[in-house]
Amino acid sequence: MSRRLQLNNFVTASSKLRYNSTIMGCNISLIVLVWCWLPPEYMTVYGQQKFPRTYETRAFLTQRGYSYLVGTTGPVNLSDRCMRSYYLYVSGSEISHQLKYVEPESEEAETNSVEYYERHPKEIWLALFWHHNKKLLDVVVKGESKTLQETFHVVHANTKCLIIGSAYKAYGNKETKMNYDCTMWAKKEAVKRLPKDCEFIFLKYCNQPKIFLTALESECSDYYIYG
Q: 3-class DSSP state for residue 92?
A: coil
pTM of the full structure: 0.70
Show the beta-strand stretches assigned E in the chain.
66-73, 84-91, 94-104, 119-130, 136-142, 147-157, 161-171, 176-187, 209-211
Average pLDDT on 176-188 reads 87
Query: What is the percent of the chain where pLDDT is above 90?
Result: 45
| DSSP-assigned letters across all residues of 48-89 | -B-----B-HHHHHTSSSEEEEEEEES---GGGGG-EEEEEE
Report whether pLDDT(72) > 60. Answer: yes
> Hey, where are the domains in the chain?
3-37, 57-221
Model confidence band, residue 47 (pLDDT cutoffs 50, 70, 90): very low
pLDDT in tens, 110-160: 555 555 445 678 889 999 998 888 899 999 998 767 788 999 999 999 999
pLDDT of 227 reads 52
Which amino acid is present at 197? D
The alpha carbon torsion through 93, 54, 208, 115 (nearest 10 deg) reads: 60
Average pLDDT on 9-13 reads 46
3-state helix, strand, coil in the chain (%, to 5): 30, 40, 30
Rounded to whole angstroms, what are the CA distances from 40 to 36, 47, 50, 52, 205?
9, 11, 9, 10, 17
Residue 91: partners with Cβ closer than 8 Å, 6 or more residues away: none
- What is 57-221's CATH number, 3.40.50.2020, 3.30.930.10, 2.40.128.20, 3.30.260.10? 2.40.128.20
Rounded to whole angstroms, what are the CA distances from 150 to 16, 78, 108, 118, 167?
57, 24, 28, 30, 12
Top-confidence residue, 107 or 41: 107
